[in-house]
Structure 1
């Protein structure tokens, strides 16, 4: 539960359609105090959210300050906020939004006379890999082609003569993924986040399924979650099935979309016998649930969430068996 000041600030920012700023305050506590005759806005938040708040451009920091005192009509908002780092670090997929903002700021900074590439390139390269993987797993399009800051340097030298052009390019590059990551914080998925498997198509499809569930509000849209989950399981089966090694139990060669036969043949090969029937049954159950939801005209959000959780769990189990995650 957010404190009243933070809640009011979040609502104010949402009326301005600044979901990126309101989402940055998800873990924050805002207090408004005074120094002499001036108001002071202090935002306390865990890293990396606090780090992202610190690197916001001045006009965005001022907008948060204005939001914090928006319920005081006669108050003059301060020009800036004070950020304090508190609490445990937020990591994993929950850190995607602030990391995108930090990454954006780093690209702008080195291109506009701020930090030097030598000082921050290692951090940029590592964060670029993490953001690319996290966006793929979340089904968020991330189209930053600059895998290192020296690449970015060569690009801006060839295309952009002014600081303004460089800032504009970077902000456009990050606008869509930041908006998508903000939406995920505003409407979190009921399904637990898991680490990417490294199977690109599986991770991407699973991210699409999560996005579909987050946006769904009708029976047809909840049914569509089942369809996307089926696609996840087909991609998963294709990732592990080798027709030269894994023989179908019924002797029928599976088609390219026969997730059940491909997965069954793979699991029968790595975990044969009666003692492993529950492991094999787990994947069958996930596929059956997806097919059921896909054709259920009375689909609900609860059933769609159950289907997505079953699919996510099946992906995790096969990933463990295949040695992709431990």
Structure 2
């Protein structure tokens, strides 16, 4: 068999265009090779995906149609080839990966194990120990990552008794139930693969609404996988800045109107912060500090109106908002 190396970015872009961020994320740590076996009419294209555990196991457990989609994605720009591939060969390479980034492959392995025992492909007694241990890890890991995971089946025997009691007589009924159960957690876990730690954790400011809103923005980023969800990070960033403006602005101390003479409203975070900022850090020596906070505010406002929001823009917005909060807290003399 002859081999050529493939750029995994091409496959991920193709899968992302199909809104299959789950499959794209599984390839993030993978090495991909393309080969041809046989010759003439017997020639066949082979796609070999090498990945560390548990990503390799998740790839190998994917249903046939998902494995075929990955093969198509790898070959999507090779229009000059006369052959196609309908499956992938998965190989384990490197040291296993651990931490929050493994939530996605573990969820997929867990999902496929539930389907396998419910469709007669595996015996419960052969895999229940692995399922129970993984269920415990997923329950704790998803809770820590802010991912909503509501699988009530502590063991595969629980799952067996459930489908019997509910009258799920067909394999299709059981598959649909499991796929619906895992749809939300899998989508949320995609973000953890791309960026398990999107922003540096900072100490709470002590402004309750500011800290609470910033926590919501971080949780939204970790769960987001679509343009609308990334755009919501900008909306939540704006809420953080509104709360920040209300925390520091005092109408009796700072200006009631902005530089153009317009009255500063109760939810006008931008003008509130600018008024406070010019009062606290006035003069040319402090212009860079003022510019930093103004740019953070502008970025958050820009993202909430950006219908083509991306994960990168959402991460930048979240980091900029967090930074603005920290800078304001330092100026205000809060503990940081």
Q: Please give the TM-score of this superposition, normalised by the length of structure 2.
A: 0.62
> Do structure 1's residue 87 and structure 2's residue 104 form an aligned pair?
no
CA distance in 1, matches of 2:55, 2:47: 16
Aligned mate of 2:77, from 47, 64, 71:
71
Residue-by-residue CA offset, 1:78-105 (whole Å, 9 max, x unaligned) = 1211101001111111100000000001
> Do structure 1's residue 116 and structure 2's residue 123 form an aligned pair?
yes
Q: What SS class does the counterpart of residue 97 from structure 2 fall into? A: coil
Unaligned runs of 5+ in 2: 202-211, 223-229, 245-292, 301-316, 328-336
Seen in structure 2, the aligned counterparts of structure 1 residues 38 and 152 have a Cα distance that, compared at 3 Å, is: same
CA distance in 2, matches of 1:307, 1:129: 38
Unaligned runs of 5+ in 1: 194-203, 230-292, 311-326
Match of 2:184 in 1: 176
Seen in structure 2, the aligned counterparts of structure 1 residues 206 and 124 have a Cα distance that, compared at 3 Å, is: farther
CA distance in 1, matches of 2:86, 2:180: 26
Match of 2:16 in 1: 14
CA distance in 2, matches of 1:302, 1:137: 20
> Do structure 1's residue 97 and structure 2's residue 104 form an aligned pair?
yes
1:212·1:224 contact (CA, 8 Å) conserved in 2?
no
Q: How many residues align?
A: 233
Q: What SS class does the counterpart of residue 114 from structure 1 fall into? A: coil
2:216·2:236 contact (CA, 8 Å) conserved in 1?
no
Aligned mate of 1:58, from 49, 60, 64:
64
Seen in structure 2, the aligned counterparts of structure 1 residues 107 and 76 have a Cα distance that, compared at 3 Å, is: same
Q: Tell me the CA shift for residue 206 of structure 1.
A: 9.1
Seen in structure 2, the aligned counterparts of structure 1 residues 161 and 213 have a Cα distance that, compared at 3 Å, is: closer
CA distance in 2, matches of 1:297, 1:106: 46
CA distance in 2, matches of 1:60, 1:38: 19
2:217·2:236 contact (CA, 8 Å) conserved in 1?
no
Q: What SS class does the counterpart of residue 79 from structure 1 fall into? A: coil
Q: What SS class does the counterpart of residue 19 from structure 2 fall into? A: coil
Match of 1:235 in 2: none
Aligned mate of 1:212, from 204, 207, 220:
220
1:29·1:44 contact (CA, 8 Å) conserved in 2?
yes
> Do structure 1's residue 302 and structure 2's residue 304 form an aligned pair?
no
> Do structure 1's residue 158 and structure 2's residue 175 form an aligned pair?
no
Match of 1:137 in 2: 144
Which of structures 1 and 2 has the bigger CA Rg? 2
